[in-house]
Amino acid sequence: MQLRKSNVDATKIETQMAPMIDVVFQLLIFFMLTLKIIPVEGDFNINMPLGQQATESPDVPIPPIKVRLTANIDGSLAGVQFRQLNLGNDVVAFDRLNAKIAELIGNRNNPYLDELEVEIDADYNLHYRYVISAVSACTGSISSQTGNVIRYIEKVKFAPPRRPQ
Q: How many other β-carbons are positioned within 10 Å of the β-carbon of residue 163?
A: 8
Residue 24 has pLDDT above 80, yes or no: yes
Domain boundaries defined on the chain = 65-158
Nearest CA to 80 among 18, 42, 35, 137?
137
Residue pLDDT, tens place only, 37-58 = 876 666 556 666 666 666 665 5
Q: What pLDDT sits at residue 32?
A: 92
For the domain made up of 65-158, the CATH class stated in words is: alpha beta
Residue pLDDT, tens place only, 116-159 = 888 888 888 888 889 888 888 888 877 777 877 777 777 888 88
Say which amino acid occupies 123.
Answer: D
Chain centre to alpha carbon of residue 152: 22
> Distance between CA atoms of 112 and 64, rounded to whole angstroms?
11
Instruction: Spell out where 15-154 has E strands.
Output: 65-71, 77-82, 85-88, 117-122, 140-142, 149-151
Nearest CA to 77 among 105, 97, 63?
97
